[in-house]
Amino acid sequence: MLLVIDYGRGNLRSVEQALRRLGAPPRISSDPADVAMAGRVILPGVGAFGDCMDALRARGLIEPILDHIAAGKPYLGICLGMQILFNESEEYGQHKGLGVLPGRVIRFRLPGGGPLKIPHMGWNGVHHAGGEEARRLWEGIPDNEAFYFVHSYHVMAGRDGDVAGLTNHGGEFCAAAARNHVYGVQFHPEKSQNAGLRLLQNFIRNG
C-alpha cells in the first residue's frame, strides 16, 4: 500500500492527483495503523516545523513513522516532510525533529548579512549529489533539472553523504536527501511537471 500521511496541514490533493496520473492512487490517512501497514509512505508538508511535529504527535503518528523507517520501508518527505527528518529546527524557536538524519533546519541568510529574497520561491535547478540511494531518486532526470520551490528555511545536513541534491539561493543548500530507503526533497515534485512526476515514479518503483 502507498500511503500519503494526512496530519491536517499537507498539500494532499496535489500529491494525490500526481500519483493518480502515474497509475498509483494512494490511500490518504491519519491512522497510525495504516502507517504500520503501508509499504511506502509519503509525507507532504507545509507550514511551520513545530506545528508539524505537534500535529504528528497529537495523532500518534511519530512512532509509526519511525518504526516504518526502522523496518527499511521507503519514506519520501516533501518540503516540511523532508525537514522533520533532521534533528532540529530554529523556525519560531527551537524544535526537535525525528532525528532520522543528522542536521538542523535554519533560515536563509547570506554570510555577510546582506539582503536575500525570502521565501525562496519558484523554479530552480537541482544538482545531483550522493551515492546509490540518490541515483535511484534521480533516474531518468537530467542533472540541474528545474523543480518548484517555496520555503524560507533549509536543511544543513550533518553528514555530506546524506545530501542527494544541491540548489543555490544565496549559496548552496541541501535540496534533497537520501539514506537507505529514506528520501526527502525540499522542492514540490507534485508541482514540478514532468520532472516531478518522474521523481515520484522513481520513488514508487525504486524506493
- Neighbour tally for 85: CB within 10 Å: 27
- Going by C-beta distance under 8 Å and a sequence separation of 6 or more, which residues neighbour residue 122? 148, 149, 150
- Going by C-beta distance under 8 Å and a sequence separation of 6 or more, which residues neighbour residue 93? 50
Q: How buried is 68 (Cβ within 10 angstroms: 0-12 exposed, 13-18 middle, 19+ buried)? A: buried
What would the grid cell of residue 170 be?
544565496
Catalytic residue from among 16, 68, 79, 133:
79
Catalytic residue from among 16, 133, 145, 190:
190
Report the alpha-carbon distance of residue 84 to residue 101 in Å, rounded. Answer: 9
What would the grid cell of residue 23 be?
497509475
In the residue annotation, 79 being an active-site residue is answered as yes
In the residue annotation, 190 being an active-site residue is answered as yes
Q: Which residues are catalytic?
A: 79, 188, 190
